Chain A
Amino acid sequence: MLTEQSAYTNRWRWVSPTAKGILTCSGIVAAFAASSPRASLLVAALLMATAIFGAGIPATRYLRVGAPALLFLGASCLSLLVTLKFTHGGGTLTMQSNPAELSHIARMCGRSCACLTALLLLTLTTPLSDIISLLRSCKVPDTLLDLMTLCYRTLFVLSAAIHETITAQSARLGHSTLALSLRSMGGLVANLTIQVWQRSQALHIAALARNNDGALRFLEHPFAHSRRHITMASGAGVTLILLAVLIP
């Protein structure tokens, strides 16, 4: 929901998704082209600053959205850096680290951070419907895009259904103890399974009623100054890649 909220309310809402896509791709290329971990982290910092100061995403919201991915990255890097070893003879658990691997892990961590910030720049500034339009213009298969469209829409419908069901269960003491809570969760899952099936049937009928017999097609939003935005994003992207390559 935080991502969704940012995508619709940021300063770059009406900047061409193609331009934002170019900047994101450039960020990913820069992450892999970076000659050192320092360069990757600089790319990440620049992309983060672009999202916060350029697109006007509040820093706290940015960090909250990025936190789960950063935590996952931190845990992964730690597991690469430190190895736990159990010696059978002495029956002791020892912790070993390989300093030779440190530079390798730092490089991977830097690249991952840069890629993460590049993707956050796109997702926090662009609603998914615009990203789907962008992917359509990139010739991504229709089936995949239809699934994305339906899943995205259904996500909100089902989240409302889940909320209503849990409220109704709570009103009848369905979550008053752990055992009851587990039972209610089972009921919720069973109910949702049927709802998903019923809703898919209803959507199919609604699509037929509106003359659909193939891919889901929608009108794409025209973005003003699209060419100018694309030129600026391309320039910024090339600069980012050059910085990543040239900084030692």
Chain B
Amino acid sequence: MNDAIIRLEEVSYRYPDGTSALNNCTLGIHRNRRTAVLGANGAGKTTMFLHLNGIVQPTSGRLFWGNTPLDYSRAGLRKLRSKVGMVFQNPDSQLFSASVREDISFGPMNLGLDISTVRQRVDKALQAVAMAELADKPVHNLSYGQKKRVCIAGVLAMEPEIIVLDEPMAGLDAAMQLELTAVLEKLHGGGITIVIATHDLDFAYGWADQTLVMESGRVLAHGTPDDILLRPEVGETLGATPQVAEIIHSLSLIGIDLRGNGYLPRTKDELVKAITAFAGREDTP
């Protein structure tokens, strides 16, 4: 836990209306990892994300950047928010300007960068999310998926170390989800730590390096998807287990043990490859 880039230590948070959102929540986000945060609605995922960006301060407990407690002064928050970028669930709650290019420039302008640097960062962010061709379009003429990509570009242009995305796949069709996954892969390949809140177990199982399962404002389980998402108590909390894992389990009951290869498939493509390899092995005299 101590090698985490940012961590929460026994953090509790209560909203002004008395709703308890986090209860002694302890967790860590590790550098250059893809972290999926899972949990039912109301489990505390969004509140935890708001803590990572310093939007809300814990009622009790502490947050650390490395080993340094977070500084909630104006300068401290400025520094934190330049390192942790947050993409909200609803793009219309995040986009300020009616112009794509202008909206992406909003964060870098707030960082006080000079105009040529802002221009350079905006162009780079547009390229990263494959939106360069739509840079001069009005935001209200974009599709939902394109708006989501503009939101990511807006955060990306601030060049954060961590990007936190609250249910980025919500409302996207399958093709858009694939496009967004490719964008996230590209960002991760560029050295950015990515944290995603999602209800999509299959996506989390196939994509993440680290999973955090939240329940009632605290972390129920954390570790690799293989370790966590196949646990019965986690399956009970989330109401399901990943489909690929279920298929592997069903196949093992009829004597097809794909685990025997020392390789556990996590995506449908990997599963097909593993089954093909198994069939090839069985055919070999």
A contact set with B: CB distance below 8 Å? 4, 8, 127-129, 149-150, 152-153, 156-157, 160, 199, 202-203, 205-213, 216-219, 221
Q: With contacts A156-B140, A213-B74 known, is A219 near B118, CB below 8 A?
A: yes
Contact in complex: A153, B139 (CB < 8 Å): yes
B53 x A209 contact (CB < 8 A): yes
Known A8-B138, A210-B158, A211-B158; contact A199-B93, beta-carbon cutoff 8 A: yes
Beta-carbon contact of B81 and A210 below 8 Å: yes
Q: Chain A contact residues: over half helix, strand or loop, or mixed?
A: helix
Q: List 13 A-B contacts (CB under 8 A).
A: A4-B138, A129-B102, A150-B96, A156-B98, A160-B140, A202-B90, A205-B93, A210-B81, A210-B155, A210-B158, A218-B97, A219-B109, A221-B102
Taking CB atoms, residues of chain B closer than 8 Å to A218 are: 96-97, 99, 102-103, 105-106, 109
B143 within 8 A of partner (CB): no
Contact mask for chain B residues 64-96; partner A; CB cutoff 8 A; 1 contact, 0 none? 000000000010001001100110101011111
Q: Please judge, given known A-B contacts A153-B95, A211-B81, whether A202 and B88 are in contact too, CB under 8 Å.
A: yes
A219 touches B105 (CB 8 A): yes
Q: What's the A-B contact tally at a CB cutoff of 8 Å?
A: 101
User: B80 — nearest CB in chain A belongs to which residue?
Assistant: A211
Residues of B within 8 A of A (CB): 50, 53, 55, 74, 78, 81-82, 85-86, 88, 90, 92-99, 101-103, 105-111, 115, 118-119, 122, 136-140, 154-155, 158
* Contact indicator A212/B106 (Cβ below 8 Å): yes
The 8 A-B pairs at the shortest CB distance, nearest first, are namely A219-B105, A202-B93, A156-B140, A218-B102, A211-B110, A210-B107, A217-B109, A206-B94
A4–B107 Cα distance when bound, in Å, is 26
Residues A205 and B110 in contact in the complex (CB < 8 Å), given A157-B92, A219-B105: no
User: Which residues from chain B contact A129 at a C-beta distance below 8 Å?
Assistant: 97-99, 102
Complex Cα spacing A129 to B104, Å: 14
Q: Report chain A residues within 8 Å CB of B122.
A: 219
A127 and B96 contacting across the interface, CB-CB below 8 Å: no
Once A210-B154, A211-B111 are accepted as A-B contacts, the answer to whether A203 and B96 lie under 8 Å apart by CB is yes
Taken together as a complex, chains A and B put the C-alpha atoms of A149 and B137 apart, in Å, by: 16
Query: Inside 8 A of A202's CB, which chain B residues have their CB?
Result: 88, 90, 93-94
From A128, A152, A156, A212, contact of B110 by CB (8 A): A212
> Could you tell me if B158 and A219 are in contact, using CB atoms closer than 8 angstroms?
no
* B268 CB, min distance to chain A CBs, angstroms: 34
A153-B96, A212-B110 known, 4 other contacts, Cβ within 8 Å: A149-B98, A209-B81, A210-B107, A211-B107
Nearest neighbor of B155 in chain A, beta-carbon distance: A210
> Is A217 touching B115 in the complex (CB atoms < 8 A)?
no
Give every chain B residue within 8 A of A8 (Cβ-Cβ): 137-138
Q: Which residues of A contact B53 (CB under 8 A)?
A: 209
